[in-house]
Amino acid sequence: MNIQSKFAVSIVLVLLTLWILRNFTHKKLNSDQALFWLCLLCGAEILTLFPALVHKASLLWGNLIPVSWISFMGIICLIAYLLHQSIKLNELRAHFVQLTRQIAFLEERVRHAESLREPQ
C-alpha cells in the first residue's frame, strides 16, 4: 500500500471516528456501541498505518493472503456485535415484560379502588 492510499484510508477512518463521536454526543449512540465501533476503527487505523502487522498476523493464522484474514476478522467482529445486540434486545424485552406486568397490576389496583369508592 503506497503512502497516498494509507493517507486516504486514514482520513476516512478519522472522519468515521469523528462521526461516531458526534452521534455519541448527540445521544444517537450509547456508550457501549460507540466504544465498540471506536475500538474497531482504532484497530483498522493501526493496521492501515502498519501493514506489516497484517502480513504477520495472516502468516500466524495460516492464511497466505492478508485480505482473507482481514475479511475473516471483520466477519468475527460483526458476529460478536450481533450477539451483543441480541443480548441487549433480550434484556430490553425482559424489562418490557416486567413493565407491562406492573402496568396491568396498577390498572387492576386503580379499578379496585374506584369500585370501592363508587356508591352502591
pTM confidence score: 0.65
Q: What is the pLDDT of residue 104?
A: 96
Average pLDDT of the residues in 97-110: 96
Instruction: State which amino acid sits at residue 69.
Output: W
CB half-sphere exposure, 67, CA atoms < 13 A: 1
Q: Where are the domains of the chain?
A: 1-49, 66-120
Predicted pLDDT at 64: 65
Q: Residues 48-73: pLDDT tens digits?
A: 888 888 778 777 777 667 777 778 78
Question: In the structure, what pLDDT confidence band is assigned to residue 120 with cuts at 50, 70 and 90?
Answer: low
Gap between the Cα atoms of 36 and 77, Å rounded: 9
Q: In whole numbers, what is the pLDDT of the chain averaged over residues?
A: 87
pLDDT tens, position by position, 29-43: 888 889 989 998 998
Q: Which pLDDT score is estimated for 56?
A: 80
Collect all residues with Cβ–Cβ distance below 8 Å to 15 and sequence separation of at least 6: none
Find the mean pLDDT for residues 67-93: 87
Give the residue among 110, 51, 10 at the shortest CA–CA distance from 102.
110
Contact 58, 68 (CB under 8 A): yes
Contacts of 58 (CB under 8 A, 6+ apart): 64, 65, 66, 68, 69
- Counting Cβ atoms within 10 Å, is residue 39 exposed (0-12), middle (13-18) or buried (19+)? exposed
